């Protein structure tokens, strides 16, 4: 079984909603467990005739979480009833969203703050690199759509901005 076959199996299992699957053949043993909506943990072992098989942990590619992330993320403030004129600042990459440069400093922006083009609004950590995300629009922050220190996807909405 190739790594691609294993990845396809993981994708299938993640879409099925199962939390645990064990597959065992004469050549391979795979155990897939997932807790909550996190990334599945996969362990595979090849049998050895005389000795117990060593367990090798495979690093699967992260499985995209269902589109429930934005709905499940707590919000900081409620938007006005008419949100048609708001501009969304979206994540340019996959990573971990941070509202400030470290836990001891205040957030880059709060609800009600006025931002201009080029002002840093958050940081997204991707592969141990901290990337400053700048506003592409001038306006007032109306809503923060993502909880601090949570994973974000590419093009996921982060902030709602009322243009000036």
pLDDT digits (tens, 9 = 90+) for 85-129: 899 999 999 999 999 999 999 999 999 999 999 999 999 999 999
Q: Average pLDDT of 25-42?
A: 63
Which residues lie below 8 Å from residue 39, measured CB to CB, with a gap of 6+? Answer: 60, 62, 63
- pLDDT tens digit string along 58-92? 545 555 544 444 444 444 444 444 567 899 999 99
Beta carbons of 158 and 91 less than 8 angstroms apart = yes
Is beta strand 139-144 parallel, antiparallel or unpaired with respect to 157-163?
Answer: antiparallel
Instruction: Say if CB 119 and CB 161 are below 8 A apart.
Output: no
pLDDT at site 34: 64
Q: Which domain holds residue 82?
A: 69-163
Decide: pTM greater than 0.75: no
CA dist., res. 152 & res. 133, Å (int) = 13
Question: How many domains, the chain?
Answer: 2
Q: What is the CATH number of the domain that holds 124?
A: 2.40.50.100
pLDDT of res. 27: 74
| Residue located via tokens 């093009």 | 155
């Amino acid at each position: 079984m190739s790594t691609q076959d294993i990845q396809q199996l993981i994708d299938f299992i993640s879409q099925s909603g199962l939390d645990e699957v064990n597959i065992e053949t004469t050549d391979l043993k795979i155990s897939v467990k997932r807790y909550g909506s996190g990334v599945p943990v996969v362990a595979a072992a090849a049998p050895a005739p005389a000795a117990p098989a060593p367990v090798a942990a495979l690093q699967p590619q992260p499985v995209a979480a269902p589109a429930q992330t934005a709905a499940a993320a707590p919000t900081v403030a409620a938007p006005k009833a008419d949100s048609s004129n708001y501009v969304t600042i979206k994540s340019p990459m996959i990573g971990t969203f941070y509202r400030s440069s470290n836990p001891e400093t205040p957030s880059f922006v709060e609800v009600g703050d006025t931002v201009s083009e080029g002002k840093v609004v958050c940081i997204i950590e991707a592969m141990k690199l901290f990337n400053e995300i700048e506003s592409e629009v001038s306006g007032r922050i109306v809503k923060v759509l993502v909880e601090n220190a949570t994973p974000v996807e590419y093009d996921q909405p982060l902030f709602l901005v009322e243009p000036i």
